[in-house]
C-alpha cells in the first residue's frame, strides 16, 4: 500500500462514510460513522485501511463513554493495560489512561507542571515522540478521545515518518537503512541542580531498546524513518558528535511542515493514529490557561520493530515483548 493510493478512500465511501484529507501527506477527517455503534466488519476494515494510508484519522462529534472507547479499540487490536496510572484515570477501565494524569507528574517530583515540561522539552525537537518508544514493542496505535478542551490552544501535531523517509535523498536512505539507535526513557530530560527526584524515578524504572533507524511497517511494507525526539539516545556504532549531528538532521527532516498535520480538538473529537509510522507533539501552550483539558487514550499492543535487514529490535533494559 502506498500513501497516495485512492483505494482506501473508496473503501471508506463504500462503507457509507466520507473521508476528507486535511494535509498533503498525513491526516484525514472521517464522517458518517458513529464509533459507539456496533460496527460491522466492512466498516472496521475500511477504518483500518484509512489509518494505514493517512497515518492519523479524526472523528468529530462522537459520544463515546469509557466502555464504548474500549469496545471500539478492541475491534482493531488488544488494548494495553498499564501497570501504573494516575488518579485521574477511570479505576474500572484499566485500558484507559486519562491524560490529565500527566499534569500531576511534576508535582510528584517537586515541580510545577510548566517547569517539568520545560525540562523535558529543552530543545524544539525534544517533545516529538511516538508513544512508549523506549519499549522493545511500542504500541501499534493510539486512540485519543477529547472530553474537555480549552476554547483555544491545546492542538496536537503529527508527522508522517514514511513520507519523511521517502523525502530523503537516495544515498542518505541507503546510509540510514543499516543503522540502529538506542531509545531510552528520559534521555531528553534536563535535571534540576542538586538532587532531582524525577531523575531518581527514571533511574529506578529505566527502559531502553535498540531499534532500527529505519523500520519496515508490518502491514504496509513501507520504510519508516524511526526517529524519536524524546527517547533517542544515540546511533549505535557512531561517535557522540557524529550521532548528534545525524539525529538532528533526521529529526528536522521528520518534522518538516509538509509532512505534518495539526488538529484542533473539540469535545467529542477522536484521533486514531498509527504509532508505528508517526511521531506526535503534544501541546505545550495550555499550562498557563485557566481551562481544563481532559483527554482519554487507549493504546493497542504492538509488535517488535524489524529493520530493512530483517533484524528485530533488541531490549536493553526494563522491557520485554508483551510485558507492561
- Positions annotated as catalytic residues are 129, 131, 280, 297
Q: β-pairing, 260-263 with 97-98?
A: unpaired
The grid coordinates listed for 138 are 511500542
As a whole number of angstroms, the distance between CA 190 and CA 218 comes to 35
Contact by Cβ (8 Å): 181, 189: no
The rounded distance, in Å, linking the Cα atoms of 217 and 276 is 7
**SS3 category, 90:** coil
Q: Can you tell me the distance from the alpha carbon of 245 to that of 195, in angstroms, rounded to the nearest whole number?
A: 31
**Do 130 and 281 form a contact (C-beta atoms < 8 A)?**
no
Tell me, letter by letter, the H, E, C secondary structure of 239-277: CHHHHHHHHHHHHHHHCCHHHEEEECCCCCCEEEEECCC
Amino acid at each position: 500500500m502506498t500513501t497516495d493510493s485512492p483505494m482506501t478512500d473508496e473503501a471508506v465511501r463504500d462503507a457509507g462514510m466520507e473521508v476528507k484529507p486535511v494535509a498533503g501527506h498525513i491526516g484525514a477527517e472521517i464522517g458518517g460513522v458513529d464509533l459507539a455503534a456496533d460496527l460491522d466488519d466492512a466498516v472496521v476494515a475500511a477504518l483500518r485501511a484509512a489509518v494505514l494510508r493517512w497515518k492519523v484519522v479524526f472523528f468529530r462529534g462522537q459520544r463515546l463513554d469509557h466502555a464504548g472507547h474500549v469496545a471500539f479499540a478492541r475491534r482493531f487490536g488488544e488494548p494495553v493495560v498499564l501497570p501504573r496510572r494516575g488518579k485521574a484515570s477511570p479505576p474500572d477501565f484499566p485500558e484507559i489512561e486519562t491524560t490529565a494524569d500527566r499534569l500531576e507528574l511534576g508535582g510528584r517530583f517537586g515541580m510545577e507542571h510548566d517547569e517539568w515540561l520545560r525540562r523535558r522539552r529543552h530543545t524544539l525537537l525534544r517533545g516529538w515522540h511516538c508513544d512508549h518508544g523506549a519499549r522493545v514493542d511500542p504500541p501499534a496505535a493510539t486512540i485519543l478521545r477529547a472530553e474537555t478542551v480549552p476554547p483555544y490552544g491545546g492542538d496536537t501535531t503529527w508527522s508522517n515518518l514514511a513520507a519523511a523517509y521517502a523525502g530523503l535523498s537516495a544515498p542518505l536512505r541507503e546510509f540510514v537503512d543499516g543503522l540502529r539507535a538506542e531509545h531510552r526513557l528520559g534521555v531528553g530530560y534536563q535535571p534540576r541542580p542538586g538532587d532531582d527526584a524525577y531523575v531518581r524515578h527514571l533511574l529506578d524504572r529505566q527502559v531502553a531498546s535498540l531499534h532500527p533507524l529505519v523500520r519496515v511497517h508490518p502491514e504496509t511494507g513501507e520504510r519508516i524513518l524511526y526517529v524519536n525526539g524524546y527517547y533517542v539516545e544515540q546511533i549505535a556504532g557512531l561517535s557522540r558528535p557524529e550521532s548528534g549531528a545525524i539525529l538532528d538532521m533526521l529529526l528536522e527532516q521528520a518534522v518538516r511542515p509538509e509532512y505534518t498535520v495539526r488538529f484542533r480538538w473539540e469535545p467529542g473529537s477522536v484521533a486514531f493514529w498509527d504509532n508505528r509510522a508517526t511521531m506526535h507533539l503534544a501541546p505545550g501552550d495550555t499550562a498557563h490557561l485557566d481551562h481544563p483539558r481532559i483527554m482519554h487514550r487507549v493504546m493497542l499492543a504492538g509488535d517488535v520493530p524489524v529493520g530493512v535487514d530483517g533484524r528485530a529490535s533488541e531490549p536493553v533494559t526494563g522491557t520485554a515483548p508483551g510485558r507492561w
